[in-house]
Amino acid sequence: MKKTSLLVGLIASLVLTATWLTSPNSLGQSDLPVHEPDAVAGERIFWAAGCASCHATPVDGRRAKGEDKLRLGGGLQLDTPFGLFRVPNISPHPSDGIGGWTMLEFVNAMQKGVSPSGQHYYPSFPYTSYARMRTRDVMDLKAFVDGLPAIVGQPEDHDLRFPYSIRRGLGLWKRRYLAVDPVIETTSADSQLLAGRYLVEGAGHCGECHTPRDIFGGLDTNRWLAGAPNLDGEGGVPDITPAGKNVSAWSAEDIAYYLESGFTPDFDTVGGTMVAVQENMAKLTREDRAAIAAYLKSIPASKLRTGAADSNDDS
């Protein structure tokens, strides 16, 4: 009887521990800063964060262009080694989109990867990068999105392989990979460099594609921006550290111009999935693009390479 009681107690303890370790970690209302959301400032964050690149409803099976980029009904499919992700509707529709969300629910989704119902979001939604954003910028973003067209309809849910289909396990994953500290530490007080770090590591979430992942799907920050396999297609995503052939050969002015125009110093043009990113970067300010370039030129060259680092597929 005593052994049975001990076994039951042990099992209960393990269940409680597992429940605690995998539970969503959300912000409370008191964690939000006192801030009046600004939709104009939010538009800059919208383009920096690349929201339209994934959430704009495809037109005739192709990524949206022009004003259609503001129709955020979702529907894009991302076929990855973990399974098929279907991008959701984030338009301000009150039921099919996020129009019914409170500011706190929006911030928790963006920075904690937690849904209004308390479920974990999969990190195909790059909240591990958005966690490094200033919360007031996230609040401004919601103000902008709230003014966009409300789109009817919801894509189907994801179709993921086991064990990735178990959402609860993401609680443990977040404890390992969800961080707010900068990836590249610096003692520099250079405002341009710090602004570039904020845009690249936070809203721009450049590391989500340009950094290789480990076996659990987390970013290997020891090889930050050093190039990676393309999880949503063939080929590779290039190294954009000073060790990569582009950043090493291009000046900061070349990088900034590429982000503005889509033209390389050799008069080649942007290609692959980088097309949508470049179009977003073109909508930022000249100062923003210069800051991004300054950051890319300054980060430590990676000593470890992926083998995909020199690919031009998405450059």
Domain boundaries, the chain: 28-177, 191-298
| SS3 state of residue 168 | helix
Distances (CA, A) of 11 to 1, 19, 41: 15, 12, 51
pLDDT digits (tens, 9 = 90+) for 15-32: 455 555 666 788 999 999
Distances (CA, A) of 254 to 133, 154, 219, 249, 312: 26, 41, 28, 9, 17
Query: What percentage of the chain exceeds 70 in pLDDT?
Result: 87
pLDDT tier at 66 (50, 70, 90 boundaries)? confident
Q: How far apart are CA 198 and CA 129, in angstroms?
A: 10
Q: How far apart are CA 259 and CA 269, in angstroms?
A: 11
Check: CATH 2.40.128 for 191-298? no
Rank 30-44, 149-163, 209-223, 243-257 by mean pLDDT and report only the highest: 30-44
Q: How far apart are CA 241 and CA 225, in angstroms?
A: 6
| SS3 state of residue 50 | coil
274-286 CB burial, b ≥16 within 10 A, e <16: bebbbbbbeebee
Query: Exposed/middle/buried for 155, CB within 10 Å: 0-12, 13-18, 19+?
Result: middle
Q: How far apart are CA 29 and CA 197, in angstroms?
A: 28
pLDDT tier at 254 (50, 70, 90 boundaries)? very high
The mean-pLDDT minimum among 8-12, 61-65, 70-74, 153-157 falls in 8-12
- Check pLDDT > 80 for residue 12: no
For every residue of 212-275, DSSP letters joined together read -B-TTS-B-GGGTTS-EE-TTSSSEEPP-STTSHHHHHS-HHHHHHHHHHSB-TTS-B--TTHH
**Cβ-based neighbours of 41, under 8 Å, separated by 6 or more:** 137, 140
pLDDT tier at 3 (50, 70, 90 boundaries)? low
Q: Between 305 and 12, where is the model more confident?
A: 12
Tokens (6 digits) for 224: 């930050």
- Check pLDDT > 70 for residue 310: no
User: Average pLDDT of the chain?
Assistant: 87
| Mean per-residue pLDDT, 33-38 | 96
Q: What is the pLDDT of residue 308?
A: 39
Rank 78-92, 241-255, 279-293 by mean pLDDT and report only the highest: 279-293
Look-up of token digits 């991008």? 87
pTM of the model: 0.86
| Of the candidates 264, 148, 133, 250, the residue with the CA atom closest to the CA atom of residue 199 | 133
